[in-house]
Amino acid sequence: MSQTLPSDTDADHNPVDQLAHINELLAKALTGLTYSLQDDALSLALLDGLEQLGRRVDGARVASTADVARRADVELYGGTASLSKRMGCTGKLDLIMSVTHVSVREVKRRISLGALTSVRSEVGQLRPAVFPTVSAALAAGEIGVDSAEIIVKGLQEVIRQADPSDLHLAERVLVANATGALNDDTAGLPGAGIALPADRMRVLVHEWQARLDPDGIAPQEEAREAKSSISFGSFERGLYRIFGGVTPDLRGEFETYFASRLSARATVKFLPTAGPAELAGADGSDVVPDTEVVPDTEVVDIDRRPAGEKRADILRDMVREAARDPKAGVMGGSAPTVTVHVNAVDLNAGRGVGWIDGVEAPVSLTTVDQALCSGGFIPILFGPNNEVLRVGDKRRAFSPAMTKAIMSRDGGCIISGCDIPAYWTELHHVKSYAQGGKTEVANGVCLCYRHHHAIDTSGWQIRMTHGRPEVLGPAWIDPSQTWRPAQNHRANRAIS
């Protein structure tokens, strides 16, 4: 049975009654929907239809929020005359949050967008919206709030510098890009007729900004450079959040550098195994019996980490390499080195935590132990009575001479498929120091941060055979479970 909505002229109904009736009909319609449809096309059509409905409602919410915000503006109406004061609220944000139960961030978002896309009242007269094309598309549900925000904020930045006719053209073209409309403004443009997602719209807005105000780029860069900042937030869920922003050119430098390190890993071939005669007496160590080392076999540890995690590790490597630079700044007369405080009993027992100067959150002893091996931290060991037992641990950390020797031998992280160079690696005791392993070249190998941090859980195993490291990959990487010569410096491989 079909139902009709009450007309605008029906004296027994007002917009609130109409909305209540629409809400009732919508609730019945949504309750009857089935989302686990067997037909893929129907599922996609349902998603599209709901999104269209949501866009129309979102547009109405923005317009209504802007209307209430104007009525509740204390500065506009003053004193108790504003709607917010009459309703017992401190201001428009308080009033709108009390009615809608949304966050202050969402209220501000709607008010900002509504101020630029709603009809305005100035000196008793109604004025058109600042961006009428966006306003119409938003009201019709043709454009989402995300795209509308991107368009109006971007054009608002250049509204004083741009020619009005060019600004309106930009608005029309951008709305057409967002809705997929074909018209005279978009004829012949790349991608015309295809509705673009909000993220793509951001790129187009930047292009229009440069076109509308080409002379404003340089002054903007100077202002933005002054606002560039990086800061750390509070410690939550095991991580410190990083806040701030950088200029486009610095972002470009970061991206270029990250891209060079994030490039696909080349498949690594293991070197042919040297025979016993070639290795005899190399360092006095024995070959592990009853094992076989297979040459010329490709086994690669594929890096499945998200790009963001990789970038974080790359940034860690950059900071560490900069700290090692002889030209780096000094702290207390010496090179910048992280100091970690740890209880000697905990360290020897392999339990407890360490504490880094200037950081309130603890680090695990696994991290402390790995950093101490590679010399990344200077440990301050405390006894049971809080006395300082020792500053630094030369017995545990590889000496500079040992470090050079190990890095020269390995050339980088020894795990197959990893291309992290030696100067960005950490040193690892093959036989752990806690288990009696010696701090010597014959017991040390290069591992990148990722492989070092996960060496006890990843399934990779390492052993030394005549002073050369060999690796055994986990079964899911190397089903044959065969020990193989590790990667090493290319100078160790004879040309002839």
pLDDT in tens, 18-30: 888 888 888 888 8
Q: Does residue 270 belong to any structural domain of this protein?
A: no
Task: Give pLDDT, residue 244.
Answer: 80
User: Taking 80 as the threshold, does the pLDDT of residue 70 lie above it?
Assistant: yes
Q: Does residue 268 belong to any structural domain of this protein?
A: no
User: Taking 50 as the threshold, does the pLDDT of residue 11 lie above it?
Assistant: no
Task: Give pLDDT, residue 404.
Answer: 87
Task: Give pLDDT, residue 149.
Answer: 96
Q: Which helix (H) or strand (E) holds 415?
A: none
User: Taking 80 as the threshold, does the pLDDT of residue 90 lie above it?
Assistant: yes
Where does the pLDDT of residue 36 fall: very low under 50, low under 70, confident under 90, or very high at 90 and above?
confident
Higher pLDDT, 292 or 197: 197
| 3-state SS class at 37 | coil
Contact 116, 152 (CB under 8 A): yes
Do 362 and 475 sit in the same domain of this protein? yes
Q: pTM for this structure?
A: 0.54
Q: Does residue 140 belong to any structural domain of this protein?
A: no
**Alpha carbons 123 and 127: distance in angstroms, whole number:** 10
Higher pLDDT, 60 or 213: 60
Residue 132's Cβ-count burial label (10 Å; 0-12, 13-18, 19+) is middle
Residues present in the chain in total? 496
202: its two tokens: 């951001």
Q: How far is CA 455 from CA 30, 210, 304, 417, in A?
A: 52, 50, 16, 15
Task: Give pLDDT, residue 217.
Answer: 58
Do 359 and 487 sit in the same domain of this protein? yes
User: Taking 80 as the threshold, does the pLDDT of residue 145 lie above it?
Assistant: yes
Contact 54, 143 (CB under 8 A): no
Do 85 and 171 sit in the same domain of this protein? no
**Alpha carbons 446 and 463: distance in angstroms, whole number:** 13
pLDDT digits (tens, 9 = 90+) for 427-457: 899 998 778 888 889 999 999 888 888 888 8
Task: Give pLDDT, residue 170.
Answer: 94
Mean pLDDT of the chain: 77
Q: How many separate domains does the chain show?
A: 4
pLDDT digits (tens, 9 = 90+) for 240-279: 888 887 766 666 667 666 666 665 443 333 344 444 333 3
Higher pLDDT, 84 or 298: 84
pLDDT digits (tens, 9 = 90+) for 384-427: 666 665 565 556 678 888 888 998 899 889 998 787 888 788 88
Task: Give pLDDT, residue 402.
Answer: 87
Residue type, 265: R
Higher pLDDT, 489 or 470: 470
Which of 71-85, 213-227, 333-347, 349-363 has the least mean pLDDT?
Answer: 213-227
User: Taking 50 as the threshold, does the pLDDT of residue 184 lie above it?
Assistant: yes
Do 361 and 291 sit in the same domain of this protein? yes
Do 201 and 232 sit in the same domain of this protein? no
For the segment 370-386, the average pLDDT, to the nearest whole number, is: 64
**Alpha carbons 312 and 261: distance in angstroms, whole number:** 12
Do 346 and 328 sit in the same domain of this protein? yes
Higher pLDDT, 282 or 11: 11
Q: Does residue 284 belong to any structural domain of this protein?
A: yes
Do 317 and 435 sit in the same domain of this protein? yes
78: its two tokens: 């003053």
Task: Give pLDDT, residue 231.
Answer: 82
Task: Give pLDDT, residue 265.
Answer: 41
Give the residue from 100, 129, 158 where a domain finishes: 129
Task: Give pLDDT, residue 272.
Answer: 42
DSSP-based helix, strand, coil % in the chain, nearest 5: 45, 15, 40
Contact 439, 398 (CB under 8 A): yes
Hunting for tokens 């490039």 — which residue is that? 263
Name the residue range of residue 101's domain: 1-7+14-129
Task: Give pLDDT, residue 227.
Answer: 65
Residue type, 393: D
Higher pLDDT, 91 or 390: 91
Do 170 and 47 sit in the same domain of this protein? no
Contact 158, 213 (CB under 8 A): yes
Q: Does residue 119 belong to any structural domain of this protein?
A: yes
Q: Does residue 53 belong to any structural domain of this protein?
A: yes
Task: Give pLDDT, residue 4.
Answer: 46
Do 213 and 255 sit in the same domain of this protein? no
Q: Which helix (H) or strand (E) holds 358?
A: none
pLDDT digits (tens, 9 = 90+) for 115-140: 999 887 765 677 889 999 999 999 99
Do 210 and 342 sit in the same domain of this protein? no
Q: Does residue 134 belong to any structural domain of this protein?
A: no
Which of 28-37, 66-75, 304-313 has the least mean pLDDT?
Answer: 304-313
Q: Using alpha carbons only, how large is the chain's radius of gyration in Å?
A: 33
Q: How far is CA 238 from CA 360, 363, 450, 484, in A?
A: 12, 10, 17, 36
Do 168 and 255 sit in the same domain of this protein? no
Q: Does residue 282 belong to any structural domain of this protein?
A: yes
Do 338 and 244 sit in the same domain of this protein? no
Q: Which helix (H) or strand (E) holds 458?
A: none
Give the residue from 94, 129, 164 where a domain finishes: 129
Hunting for tokens 């309750």 — which residue is that? 31
